[in-house]
């Protein structure tokens, strides 16, 4: 096969893989203090066709919780299980071709990167080898075996058998970014010029995301300006990635400007864009702005996702507004969503910061009854709730306090 034919085959196969990961680089932060557990990719794959609020018959006033009495928390559960989108863990893994399956097993048995390169050098120079290689890379990406994927990409770039295209560079930069090797991602971006590969929108997106994951927020912000200077128009993924950078830096006013800019440029915001902005407002303690944006989603005929509702609960939780947080919690169930651990933790935080440990305790018990397993964040919030009220002794006596609670409590008390 001629080098030109090899290049064409490589480009075609790589484009096939790229279509499945077209939103490379757009992520959302996840820290235990922020109670945020999603990425932009996750948000896009779990959008549900929620009903408009007008069709649910839900009356927010009926779910108000009185803090003057120790009444039960009015949590509404058990609705909409059939409407819950299938999680990634429930999906059947793709079936690899015999050649790709054999290549995957072979690479995993190698002891060093050089051994992997030697195994790849032994591949026959043909179209089938390239297709098996791309299937193997996709499988490593699915399993989040980023280092194995990086070794393959680096072997392709050294050019002994296949000529790399822009897709290879983009995927390599993304893999570097996933492992927080922003310097290597940056070097790969500049290496593209030597191979006469022009950066695409995806190239800028994954570089920006790599900087963001590596904590290089100023460098990430510069990427958008460089992108515009290179006459490469930013799209939805670019703006979402940039908004995530601003989310990490806490620049909510600049985020507002970017949100307006993207609409002025004819890029309509998607559900994950609204979710990011609501999260940004929440972190800045601007729950009123978050509420206004949430309502504007309905006017834009953009149904909120579970992550949007959770972000809005978080916005009110940071201000201790457990009344509004409970209303949102009830509403998301009335439209068919099932709360996950992040939603429950956000509601727990609302009662904790609102100074109502009894309410937090009831939410926690309801979460366990619903079959949602508590994590260390849940226990930390509960300890905070009882600690703020000066009721740590009551927390220790509580029959629901497991060994994990005691371990968390011991670690906290020993650090003070």
Q: Quickly list DSSP for 350-415.
A: HHHHTT-HHHHHHHHHHHHHTTPPP-HHHHHHHHHHHHHTT-HHHHHH-TT--HHHHHHHHHHHHT
More confident residue, 100 or 398: 100
pLDDT tens per residue across span 266-285? 999 999 999 999 999 999 99
Q: How far apart are CA 364 and CA 350, in angstroms?
A: 12
Give the pLDDT band (50/70/90) at residue 398.
Answer: low
Listed in sequence order, the DSSP H helices in 193-337 are 201-213, 217-229, 236-249, 252-264, 271-283, 287-299, 306-317, 322-334
More confident residue, 154 or 81: 154
Coil vs helix vs strand at 77: coil
What's the rounded mean pLDDT across residues 278-303? Answer: 92
pLDDT value at 390 more than 60: yes
User: pLDDT, tens digit, for every residue of 147-168?
Assistant: 989 998 888 888 767 788 898 8
**Whole-number pLDDT of residue 197:** 86
Is the pLDDT higher at 213 or at 396? Answer: 213
C-alpha span between 260 and 255 (Å, rounded): 9
Q: What is the pLDDT of residues 2-45, one digit of tens each?
A: 333 333 334 444 443 433 333 333 333 333 333 333 333 333 33
Token pair for 378: 């849940």
Indicate left, alpha or beta for 390 from its phi (over 0: left) and psi (-120 to 50: alpha): left
Ordered by where they begin, the domains of the chain are 3-80+100-338 (1.25.40.10), 339-416 (1.25.40.10)
With bands split at pLDDT 50, 70 and 90, how would you rate the model's confidence at 389? Answer: low
The residue with tokens 């968390």 is 408
In tens, the pLDDT along 120-133 reads 888 888 778 888 88
Question: What is the predicted pLDDT for the residue at 92?
Answer: 62
Residue 328: left if φ>0, alpha if ψ -120 to 50, beta else—which one?
A: alpha
Tokens 């072979």, located at residue: 106
pLDDT at 287 over 60: yes
Q: What is the CA 110 to chain-centroid distance, rounded?
A: 32
Confidence category of residue 401, pLDDT binned at 50, 70, 90: low
- Are the C-beta atoms of residues 15 and 167 closer than 8 Å to each other? yes
Q: Token pair of 101, please? A: 């399956």
- For 138, residues 6+ apart whose C-beta sits below 8 A from its C-beta are 17, 20, 94
Round to whole Å and give the CA distance between 364 and 75: 11
Lowest mean pLDDT among 158-162, 350-354, 383-387, 400-404: 400-404
Give the mean pLDDT of 359-364: 89
Q: What percent of the chain has pLDDT over 70?
A: 71
The residue-averaged pLDDT of 50-70 equals 31
The pLDDT assigned to 393 comes to: 61
Which whole-number Å values give the CA distances from 405 to 253, 349, 352, 409, in the listed order? 39, 17, 16, 6
3 state SS of 165: coil
46 compared with 188, residue with greater pLDDT: 188
Q: What is the pLDDT of residue 324?
A: 95
pLDDT in tens, 185-232: 999 999 988 888 889 999 999 999 999 888 888 898 899 888 988 888
Mean of pLDDT over the chain: 75
């Amino acid at each position: 096969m001629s080098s030109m034919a090899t290049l064409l085959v490589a480009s075609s196969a790589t484009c096939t893989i790229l279509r499945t990961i077209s939103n490379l680089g757009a992520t959302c932060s996840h820290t235990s203090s922020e109670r945020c557990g999603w990425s932009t990719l996750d948000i896009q794959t779990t959008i549900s066709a929620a009903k408009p609020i007008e069709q649910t018959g839900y009356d927010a006033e009926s779910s108000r919780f009185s803090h003057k009495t120790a009444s039960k928390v009015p949590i509404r559960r058990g609705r909409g299980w059939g409407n819950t989108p299938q999680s990634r863990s429930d999906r059947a893994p793709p079936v690899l071709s015999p050649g790709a399956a054999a290549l995957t097993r072979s690479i995993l048995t190698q002891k060093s990167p050089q051994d992997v390169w030697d195994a790849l050098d032994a591949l026959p120079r043909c179209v089938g080898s390239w297709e098996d290689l791309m299937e193997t890379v996709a499988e490593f990406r699915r399993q989040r075996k980023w280092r194995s994927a990086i070794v393959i990409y680096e072997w392709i770039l050294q050019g002994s058998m296949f000529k790399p295209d822009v897709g290879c560079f983009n995927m390599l930069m993304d893999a570097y970014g996933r492992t927080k090797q922003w310097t290597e991602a940056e070097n790969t971006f500049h290496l593209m010029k030597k191979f006469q590969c022009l950066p695409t929108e995806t190239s800028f997106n994954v570089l920006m995301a790599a900087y963001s994951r590596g904590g290089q927020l100023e460098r990430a912000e510069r990427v958008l300006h460089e992108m515009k200077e290179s006459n490469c128009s930013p799209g939805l993924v670019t703006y979402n990635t940039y908004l995530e950078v601003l989310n990490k830096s806490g620049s909510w006013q600049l985020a507002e400007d970017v949100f307006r800019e993207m609409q002025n440029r004819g890029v309509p915001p998607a559900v994950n864009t609204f979710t990011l902005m609501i999260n940004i407002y929440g972190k800045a303690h601007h729950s009123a702005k978050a509420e206004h944006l949430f309502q504007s989603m309905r006017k834009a005929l953009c149904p909120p996702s579970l992550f949007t509702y959770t972000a809005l609960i978080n916005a009110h939780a940071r201000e201790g507004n457990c009344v509004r947080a409970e209303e949102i919690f009830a509403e998301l169930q009335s439209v068919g969503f099932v709360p996950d651990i992040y939603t429950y933790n956000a509601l727990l935080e609302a009662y904790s910061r609102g100074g109502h440990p009894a309410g937090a305790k009831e939410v926690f018990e309801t979460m366990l009854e619903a079959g949602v397993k508590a994590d260390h964040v849940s226990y930390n919030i509960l300890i905070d709730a009882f600690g703020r009220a000066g009721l740590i002794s009551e927390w220790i006596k509580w029959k629901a306090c497991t060994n994990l609670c005691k371990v968390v409590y011991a670690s906290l008390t020993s650090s003070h």
